[in-house]
Amino acid sequence: MPGNGIHEKVMPGNAIQQKVMPGNAIQQKVMLAKPRLAREQIAQRAALELPDGAYVNLGWGIPNLIADYLPKEITVYFHSENGILGMGRRAKSGEEDFDQVDAMKVPVTLIPGASFFHQADAHLMSRGGHLDVAVLGGFQVSEKGDLSNWKIPGAKDSGGIGGAMDIAAGAKTLIVCMEHTTKDGAPKIVKKCTYPLTGLACVDTIITDLAVIDVKPEGLILREVARGWTAEEVQVLTGVQLIVRQQIPEMSFA
Amino acid sequence: MKQKLYASLDEAVADIPDGAQIMFGGFGGAGFPNNLIQALARKGTKNITAVSNNCGTREGELGLMFKNNQIKHVIASFPGPHANYFQERFAAKEVTLELVPQGILCERMRAAGAGLQGFYTTVGVGTEVAEGKEERLLEGERCILELPIHADYALIKAQQADELGNLTYRLAARNFNPIMAMAAKTTIAEVEEIVPVGTIDPEHVMTPAIFVHRIVQAKGLRYAG
């Protein structure tokens, strides 16, 4: 998988295998008051994970912002579950065609080489391992890479699954973009998901307003932290022990 | 030769009985059979089991049918953020819901159209979707058994039909329509334009006429959401 090389980066010399301990309530309160990245910055960081020429599906929420931050020198073929490959930018006022919409019902443009197909083929691309990267929003991600992203427990309405389960089951690389904690400050990266599940062991990378974390068989490996944050501070707001193997670099945006 | 052309939307849905299982095409505002839905609302068919990706956009699309309380059960993937009439009926327990992952909804309908008795998939394993379903290990992967979804009728929207029922779709308005056309006993297509047989290049036919039983020209709403 091109672009994934960074996941496998081995630190020079004898890498430090250091475990950072979870924080106490006072530390958590202090950490929750610290500034974090904006949603747009999460999207901007995630855009750097997309390899040139990749077929990519973007889910609702933060992932939907990623297309605006693609580096100029690369071309990505965005996939929409309603049967489009090669979506371009959103249509401007006056050029909208409401038969040409994305999964959020927004009129879009096409890039050269785009194609249309029916919904079964669109999901076949998701499930059959044809998409290089999918980026979804998340409510919770577990230590094993389980994802919950479609229903909040106790919600009165019906909830809705959409294409998320097909994508979780089949994308070659699944990135989840989300805030690091809930609005109440509870960690969204957890030992075991307590929200209704979308898929088991499906997430490869988590990008939050505090960190970039890779899901590996040995655990969650901290790759980058947001400016102004240390590994120890990120750990305080994380429900799982993070593996810290190196001096953690600051999240890059270019 | 069997005549498939219907003079009006109301005639095209006139025989749909109470309790019918009906598929409705459309996604994201595009490709909905809005004019057939309105005809079905006028007819007042009740106790419908609906198969549809979503559950309406306010009064638009299937919203009207929920507002009128014509649907008792729905098999859907994503009811949607503006399906307020559905959500009201759902909260009042006047309608029941089976939520299905979107691609699996497609494949279960396709299985029905293809004469297959179901399939195994990794999608939904370990989630609420798997509850009550047979699970087995295939090619080293945990899989669940999914069964076909059939329908008495499919109401679909196409761009062009010839008088035999060969169809084309426009842009992303194709979505669920070709799949539903194959899965139902009777497929009713509302189309923008009806053209003489031979007009559509055979290479450009997207749904072959064998899957289409009734054709009616849509007069009215293209987008209803």
At residue A18, the pLDDT reads 45
Q: Are strands A133-137 and A77-80 parallel, antiparallel or unpaired?
A: unpaired
Residue B97 contacts A where some CB pair is shorter than 8 Å? yes
User: What value of ipTM does the predicted structure carry?
Assistant: 0.95
A81: annotated active-site residue:
yes
CATH number of the B5-117+150-217 domain: 3.40.1080.10
Position B14 confidence tier, pLDDT thresholds 50, 70, 90? very high
Q: Which token pair is A74? A: 């690369």
Q: How far apart are CA B165 and CA B191, in angstroms?
A: 10
At residue A169, the pLDDT reads 95
Q: What is the pLDDT of residues A4-61, one digit of tens each?
A: 333 333 333 333 444 445 557 888 888 899 999 999 999 999 999 999 999 999 998 9
Position B1 confidence tier, pLDDT thresholds 50, 70, 90? low
Mean pLDDT rounded to a whole number for chain B: 96
Interface test with B, best of A95, A148, A161 (most B CBs within 10 A): A161
In the sheet with A140-142, reading across from the earlier edge strand, the strands are A147-148, A140-142, A189-190
Domains of chain A (ranges, CATH numbers) = 14-244 (3.40.1080.10)
- List the catalytic residue out of A49, A81, A179, A233: A81
Report chain A residues whose CB lies below 8 A from the CB of B123.
127, 165-166, 168-170, 199
Q: What are phi and psi of A106, to 5 degrees?
A: -95, 130
Q: How far apart are CA B163 and CA A171, in angstroms?
A: 41
Which of A104, A161, A198 is opposite residue B77, by nearest beta carbon? A161
Q: What is the mean pLDDT of residues B186-196?
A: 97
Report chain A residues whose CB lies below 8 A from the CB of B76.
160
Q: What is the mean pLDDT of residues B111-138?
A: 98
Instruction: Give residue A91's Cα distance to chain centre.
Output: 25
> Among A205, A252, A195, which residue's Cα sits nearest to residue A227?
A252
Side chain identity at B147, as an amino acid letter?
A: L
Q: Are A155 and A169 in contact (CB under 8 A)?
A: no
Q: What is the pLDDT of residues B22-78, one digit of tens each?
A: 999 999 999 999 999 999 999 999 999 999 999 999 999 999 999 999 999 999 999
Q: What is the pLDDT of residues A167-186, one digit of tens each?
A: 999 999 999 999 999 999 99
Q: How far apart are CA A165 and CA A169, in angstroms?
A: 6
Interface test with A, best of B24, B51, B74, B127 (most A CBs within 10 A): B127
Which of A99, A166, A200 is opposite residue B102, by nearest beta carbon? A166
Domain segments of chain B as ranges: 5-117+150-217
At residue A172, the pLDDT reads 95
At residue A22, the pLDDT reads 54
Which of B29, B101, B178 is opposite residue A161, by nearest beta carbon? B101
Residue B160 contacts A where some CB pair is shorter than 8 Å? no
Residue B129 contacts A where some CB pair is shorter than 8 Å? yes
Q: How far apart are CA A239 and CA A20, in angstroms?
A: 12
B225 pLDDT above the threshold of 80 = no
Residue A201: count of CB within 10 angstroms of its CB: 13
Q: What is the mean pLDDT of residues B120-146?
A: 98
Range of weakest confidence among A4-18, A202-216, B106-120 = A4-18
Report chain B residues whose CB lies below 8 A from the CB of A164.
101
Residue B25 contacts A where some CB pair is shorter than 8 Å? no
> Among A143, A203, A197, which residue's Cα sits nearest to residue A22?
A143
Cα–Cα distance list, B155 to A66, B177, B210 (Å): 36, 8, 15
At residue B221, the pLDDT reads 82
What residues pair up with B60 in beta bridges, in sequence order? B57
At residue A98, the pLDDT reads 96
